[in-house]
Amino acid sequence: MKEIVELSDKTITIDRNEFLKVKGSIDTNVYYVESGSLRVLVLDDYEEQIVRFGYKENLIVSLDSFLTGKPSNFYIQAIKKTVVKVVTKEQINMFLEKENNQNLWTEILENLVVQQMEREIDILTNSPKQRYERVLKRSPQLFQEIPNRHIANYLRMSAETLSRLKKS
């Protein structure tokens, strides 16, 4: 991942609650979170559904738009003041033209796909306790970086339920 981050020649600071990307826009950049935290969400009939988080040392991308070059249904919003390094698709494509870099990029994309599959399992798991335990085991840092109300939304449970699970 370090090699991808080093391609960046641009850093952006996003204030709390500011959008890095909005629904309907095309975004083919990959972002490396230097500090702060972000959430990737969809808005459905005025209800937010968080599908992913990004915090220090994570890559975050609007994967559908990145891969297709078409508008995305996702929003990316800063939870707190966030600094990201921007890597463009053009920079990545130039990087991939060099020998042996394809393997690294394939590894990064495979990792994103596996994370998305884990997320699908989390959503399909019936028990809130199981969802909580799976995410805690997979991403303990999430609970240090992200406010409980956002984690509860991500886990598809009330903040009260999350609070009870954390105490037990």
The domains of the chain are located at 2-98
Q: Per-residue pLDDT tens for 40-62? A: 999 978 899 999 999 999 999 99
Q: Per-residue pLDDT tens for 79-97? A: 999 999 999 999 999 998 8
CB 23 within 8 A of CB 33: no
Q: Per-residue pLDDT tens for 108-138? A: 889 988 988 988 888 887 789 999 998 999 8
Phi and psi at residue 166, in whole multiples of 5°? -65, -35
Calpha distance 135→127 (Å, rounded): 13
Q: Per-residue pLDDT tens for 5-23? A: 999 999 999 999 999 999 9
User: For residue 9, what are the CA distances in angstroms to 31, 85, 97?
Assistant: 12, 8, 19
CB atoms within 10 A of CB 74: 23
Q: Does domain 2-98 have CATH number 3.40.50.2300?
A: no
Q: What is the pTM of this model?
A: 0.89
